[in-house]
Every structure is written in C-alpha cells, then in structure tokens.
Amino acid sequence: MRYIPHTEEEITSMMEAVGVDSLDELFSDIPESCHRKNELALPEALTEWELDDHIRQLAGSMPASSEYKSFIGAGSYSHFIPAVIPYLLGRSEFSTAYTPYQPEISQGTLHAIYEYQTLVSRLLGMEIANASMYDGATALAEALLMAIRITKKDDVAISMAVHPDYRRVIEAYFRPTGYTIHYLPYGKDGRTMYDTIPEKTEPACVAVQSPNFFGCMEEVAGIAGILNEQKTLLIVSFTEPLAYGLYKTPGELGADIACGEGQSLGIPRSYGGPGLGLFSSKEKYMRYMPGRIVGQTTDRRSNRGFVLTLSTREQHIRREKATSNICSNQSLCALTACMYMATAGQTGMRELARLNYDKSEYLKEELGNAGFRIPFSSPSFNEFVVEFPEGFEDLHRHLLKKKIFAGLPLEPYYPELKNHYLMCATETNKKEDMDRLVREVK
C-alpha cells in the first residue's frame, strides 16, 4: 500500500531490533476481552482509479451550481471564489502543517493568522479577534458563555430572529448549565423587540443577529448605551459578514462581542462544513476570550515574529478552568478568509457588498412589482422574506425539478410564517436568472 513505505525485509529487521518474532507479540498486553473477535468487515481496498470513479459518482449526483439556479442563503452563501485561493491553499506547507506550537518553523501560519485577526477586527469594527472557532453557531454559544464569565450573571437574552439552528446549538450547549435563556420576539418590521426582557432581569448579554435570519439589519444603535448601564453585554452575531463591507459595523454600534459565520469569505458551501467561526471583542475582554490567539513579538535577534499567546486561558494549561475546551479550530479556513479579504481589498469588499445589496434589492423590487408581498420593510443585505400565495409549495417543488431553488420555506422554523420564503441573491445570481425566477412564480 503506497502510504506504508516499509519493505518486508525492513519489517523483519525492525522486529529483530525490537526483539519480537511477530507483530502479534507487540499487542500481547491487550487482554482477551478487549481483542476483536472478527477481522475488519470493510470493503476491499479501492485503487486510486476505482476510488476516483466511485466518488465522482457520488459527487455527480449532487446539484452543482452551473445548471442549478440557487436563491437560498440561510447561513450558507453562494459567492465567487477567485482561483488564486484554492491554488494558494494547495501549498502543503499550509495545509499539512500542525498547530503552530513550535513558532520558529510555523511563521507562515502565525503571520497569516495575525493578519486574519487584524482584518477580521477591521471588518467588524472591533478591537481584537481570535484565531477562529468551529462555525457561527458555536461561536455565538461561546460568546454567550463568555458574557456570563465576564458579568457573573446567569441569564442571557437572544433574539428569535437569530438563525434557528444557531439557537438550537445554544440550547444544546446550555442544557447542562442551569443558565436561563430569554427569547426576544421580532416585530412587524422583522427586527428584534427589546422591551420584552422580564422585569428585574438584567441578563449577562443581549444577543442579536444582523443581518438577521430574515435578512433584516437589526436596530442596534442606541441600545448599547442602555445595556451598558445595567452591565449587560451586547453581542452582535451574523451569518453573512460581507454585509459589513457596506453597513455600519458591530463595533460602530457599540457591540462588546461580534461573532458569526465566515463561510462567505472564500470558503465553499461544502454541504455545510467546514465553516469558520469569526470571533471578536473589545480589548478589555481579552483574557476572557475562548480559542487560540496569535500575538506579535520578537526573537533573540530582534526580528519580528508571531506566537500563540495568552495560552493560560486554554485547555492544555487551564484544564477544567479554561475559557473553553476548544483545541483544533478552523485554521485553514481562517487562512482562506484572510486570502479572500486580501484579494478583494478595500475596493473589492465594498464593491462586492454593494453588488450583493443591489442584486437582492432588484429581486425584491421585481417580486414586489409582480404582486407578491414583502412583509419586512427594514433595510436588508442580500436576503429578504417574500410571502407567496397559498399552495406555493407545489410550485416550489416543481421549480426544484426545473433546477431552480426558489427560496427556503420558513414555516418549519416559524409556524406563524406560513407561505413565507427566505430569498437570497448574491453577486453570483445573474439578472436574467432572477427575471426567469420572477416569470416562473407569477
């Protein structure tokens, strides 16, 4: 087998050196009760060529984008990925490297992640960022736990307009803790209503998503001040960071923690993972932050270099008192995001954000003109909700057969939103395809 480089002679000579007559002898410490009774019942090993065939068949059965016209987002977005990015990620010094615990031979990773932390901070308008979390959902869960650590309070308040699957992850994380989650409803404009927090409760934090699950930008300016007075942290999360190429950032709006999904930044959808948990906060909360962090320093010859730092927060040192249990994160995805932000630059990020906004405004306008109701009037980015008439699900299914994904039905997530669909239009959706969609649904 080409991944095991030993010849039979070498194996024999090594066994001699070790002092065993057979490889079985090496496992003599394993008691009978723990030995497998049967050989591994796995398929016959495939050659590279058979494997290629088999996997291509599996992948070939999936809807690949050139034929399919997709108008869904909901936490996983279609964006153009420049060819330079997969090319550069293919450099095995990045992809096959270990965690940079030996900084002298990991400066490539460390320098790049420091740049990532910097650009993420600038994109979100925040002071510091970590080296990544698993995804937007776990990043938000960890942000809530961080707020609880900082404020030493037991309640959190989360908007119902946060992605429903993110809320489920939070519920799973919170179940053994005894902390209370208060849910804040959304109003007629599709945005969170804050005045429903139970009296006398001053939660550790209020967490909203902006753009929220309905695509609406939340009204956040102004509440930061109020929350500050009661020592409640403001957490702004997101599933579409590209919005901040255009809209006011969480930092400008007074967020204490800003976190979310970074898949839009050059990472393919890949059936939901790997993603990228962006995580940033105010500098004063540095020591409460979960996850790895890269810091700048110098070596003995006064050269600039980078190291993993503030490690005493982490599991390998703090163990049961760590800020999180996280070890492996999403380093290569963070590198991807940084390459994307570097390639797009200031000009590109602004243009791409603008294009996303304009494309989705166009689709919104056309659907509106075709007679469909757009229930939420708040400013949005590249997603919005449209109400289709009763019985639309048949047409929706029919359009799927025509290779058009006409939005995500909201009823399974919000029973009060029957016949409402979440539409998404990014820079990848052509005008002619949007026009066709509108024609088909009329």
Partner 1 sequence: MRNGNQQKGRHGPFGQRGKMMEQQSCKTGSVLQEEMLWEKGRKGKTGFSLPQRDVKSYPLDDSHTRAELDFPDLSEVEVVRHYTRLSQWNFGLDTGMYPLGSCTMKYNPKINEKLAALSGFTEAHPLLPVDHCQGALKLMYDLERYLAEITGMDAVSLQPAAGAHGELTGMLMFHAYHQKKGRRKKIIIPDTAHGTNPASASFCGYTSVSVKSGKKGILLPEAVAEIMDEDTAGIMVTNPNTLGFFEEHIREISDIVHSKGGLVYGDGANMNAIMGIADMAGSGIDILHLNLHKTFSTPHGGGGPGAGPVCVSKELAPFLPVPRVRKDGDGYVLDHDNPDSVGKVHSFFGNFGVLVKAYCYILSMGRELKKVSRISVLNANYIRTKLKDVLHIPYDRPCMHECIFTDKKQKAQKVTTLDIAKRLIDYGFHPPTVYFPLVVSGAIMIEPTETESKAEIDRFIDAVKAIAKEAEEDPSLLTGSPMSTRIGRLDEVTAARKPCLTG
Partner 2 sequence: MKEINELILEDGFLYSTQHEWVNSEAESVRIGITDYAQDQLGEIVFVELPEVGATFAKEDEFGTVESVKAVSELYMPIDGEVTAVNTALEDAPELVNQQPYKDGWIIDVRPSDPSQLKTLLSKDAYLDLLKGTEK
Binding residues for partner 2 restricted to 281-320, rule: CB under 8 A: 287, 311-312, 317-318
Q: Which is nearer to partner 2, 287 or 402 (CB)?
A: 287
Alpha carbons 300 and 59: distance in angstroms, whole number: 51
CB of 289 to partner 2, least distance (A): 14
Q: Which does 256 bind (CB under 5 to 8 A by kind): partner 2, partner 1, none?
A: none
Q: Which is nearer to partner 2, 6 or 318 (CB)?
A: 318
Is the CB of residue 234 less than 8 Å from the CB of residue 258?
A: no
Alpha carbons 440 and 437: distance in angstroms, whole number: 5
CB atoms within 10 A of CB 157: 26
Alpha carbons 215 and 381: distance in angstroms, whole number: 6
List the interface residues with partner 2, window 317-336 (CB under 8 A): 317-318, 321
CB of 106 to partner 1, least distance (A): 6
Q: Which does 369 bind (CB under 5 to 8 A by kind): partner 1, partner 2, none?
A: none
CB of 310 to partner 2, least distance (A): 9
333 residue type, one letter: C
Query: CB-based burial of residue 323 (10 Å sphere; 0-12 exposed, 13-18 middle, 19+ buried)?
Result: buried
Among residues 154, 150, 224, 214, the alpha carbon closest in space to that of 381 is found at: 214
Alpha carbons 425 and 411: distance in angstroms, whole number: 21
Q: Which does 431 bind (CB under 5 to 8 A by kind): partner 2, partner 1, none?
A: partner 1
What is the total count of residues that contact partner 2 (CB under 8 A)?
A: 6
Alpha carbons 255 and 32: distance in angstroms, whole number: 59
CB atoms within 10 A of CB 12: 11
Residue 231 within binding range of partner 2, rule CB under 8 A: no
Q: Which is nearer to partner 2, 301 or 321 (CB)?
A: 321
Q: Which is nearer to partner 1, 100 or 203 (CB)?
A: 100
Q: Which is nearer to partner 2, 314 or 427 (CB)?
A: 314
CB of 200 to partner 1, least distance (A): 25
Query: CB-based burial of residue 194 (10 Å sphere; 0-12 exposed, 13-18 middle, 19+ buried)?
Result: buried
322 residue type, one letter: A
Q: Which does 293 bind (CB under 5 to 8 A by kind): partner 1, partner 2, none?
A: partner 1
Question: CA dihedral defined by 137, 140, 142, 148, rounded to 10 degrees?
Answer: -150
Q: Which does 352 bind (CB under 5 to 8 A by kind): partner 2, partner 1, none?
A: partner 1
Q: Which is nearer to partner 2, 256 or 314 (CB)?
A: 314
Q: Which is nearer to partner 2, 128 or 367 (CB)?
A: 128
* Binding residues vs partner 2 (CB under 8 A): 287, 311-312, 317-318, 321
